[in-house]
């Protein structure tokens, strides 16, 4: 289907982009990679009067790695993450998750900011943001603010962003050496959206007991989830068979109906959601 008519602007500064978005009383939209927005226009799920293309905004580009963690500019594309060898150590969980995003052509266009703003509950980047306690730095006509991932995702395709706000950067906290982690995803075909995915990491204390466990689930709710019950099971315990068994029970307890559905589907396709636990054991 043809796109509906719209005006187009391609500002070169962030303040100009914000002013353009603010000028249309919520009837303007930012355009990043266009991988979700263009289909939404084609299906008339969105009909903004103005598209504000973000591609010339230098402030939104680049991956910065420092002792404060990994900062992903909103216009960083999946391909940039894939190609950045520094992330193999600086954030291996991010890299592993993004390897599951879509197909080559889409990874060439899709952006971190677009995915976070679109807030598809089955998308990998929002799931990683939630699992890792990311901070989402945004700028709008009232100034800049930082939103915690837990407050940002409010439902399917619904976020805390106001219509004039632009995501500038997504900040992931530092990733210590020796951290154990795993990412498992079930999709009908490689590159499809996840039917379900789980991201797990924890650190170890001197007695090799897990601490700081983070467990996230993708595609099993109206937004990316943190499974607090599963985290409680891991923290303070050695990761052995008994802990793994409790961990899997906690998955089921956290989201009874939906997770059971996912378990059944996943078991049919890949041989069992318990693969997540296998990854917990093996960094």
Site residues (CB under 6 A) for ligand FAD? 29-37, 54, 74, 101-102, 106, 109-111, 113-115, 117-118, 123-125, 161, 166-167, 192-193
End-to-end CA distance of the chain: 47
Closest contact distance (angstroms) between CB of 48 and ligand FAD is 8
- C-beta nearest to ligand FAD: residue: 114
Tell the smallest beta-carbon distance from residue 17 to ligand FAD (Å).
9
Nearer to ligand FAD, 159 or 277 (CB): 159
The Cα–Cα gap between 2 and 179 comes to 49
Shortest Cβ distance from residue 103 to ligand FAD (Å)? 7
Residue 161 or 200: which CB sits closer to ligand FAD?
A: 161
Q: Kindly state the smallest distance separating residue 102's Cβ from ligand FAD, in Å.
A: 3
**Smallest distance from ligand FAD to CB 116, Å:** 8
Strand partners, 52: 9, 30
DSSP secondary structure letters along 32-78: SS-TTHHHHHHTTS---SEEEE-TT-GGG--EEEETTEEEEETT-BH
Q: Which is nearer to ligand FAD, 73 or 182 (by Cβ)?
A: 73
Q: Which is nearer to ligand FAD, 192 or 255 (CB)?
A: 192
Nearer CB in complex with ligand FAD: 101/132: 101
Cα–Cα distance, 70 to 81 (Å, whole number): 11
């Amino acid at each position: 289907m043809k796109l509906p008519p719209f005006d187009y602007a391609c500002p070169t500064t962030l303040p100009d982009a914000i002013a353009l978005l603010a000028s249309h009383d919520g009837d303007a939209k930012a355009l990043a990679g266009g991988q979700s927005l263009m289909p939404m226009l084609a299906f008339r799920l969105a009909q903004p009067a103005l598209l504000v293309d973000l591609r010339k905004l230098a402030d939104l580009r680049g991956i910065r790695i420092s002792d404060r963690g990994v900062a992903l500019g909103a216009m960083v594309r999946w391909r940039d993450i894939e190609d950045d060898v520094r992330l193999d150590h600086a954030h291996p969980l991010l890299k592993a998750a993004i390897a599951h995003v879509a197909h080559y052509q889409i990874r060439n266009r899709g952006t971190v900011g677009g995915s976070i703003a679109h807030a598809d509950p089955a998308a990998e980047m929002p799931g990683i943001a939630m699992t890792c306690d990311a901070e989402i730095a945004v700028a709008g006509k009232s100034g800049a603010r930082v939103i915690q991932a837990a407050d940002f995702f409010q439902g399917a395709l619904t976020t805390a962003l106001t219509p004039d706000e632009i995501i500038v950067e997504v900040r992931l906290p530092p990733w210590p050496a020796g951290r154990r982690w795993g990412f498992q995803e079930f999709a009908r075909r490689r590159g499809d959206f996840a039917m379900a995915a789980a991201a797990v990491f924890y650190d170890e204390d001197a007695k090799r007991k897990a601490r700081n466990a983070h467990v996230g689930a993708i595609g099993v709710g109206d937004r990316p989830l943190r499974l607090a019950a599963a985290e409680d099971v891991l923290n303070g315990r050695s990761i052995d068979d008994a802990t793994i068994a409790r961990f899997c029970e906690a998955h089921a307890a956290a989201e009874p109906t939906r997770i059971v559905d996912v378990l059944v589907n996943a078991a049919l396709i890949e041989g069992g959601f318990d693969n997540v636990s296998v990854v917990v054991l093996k960094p």
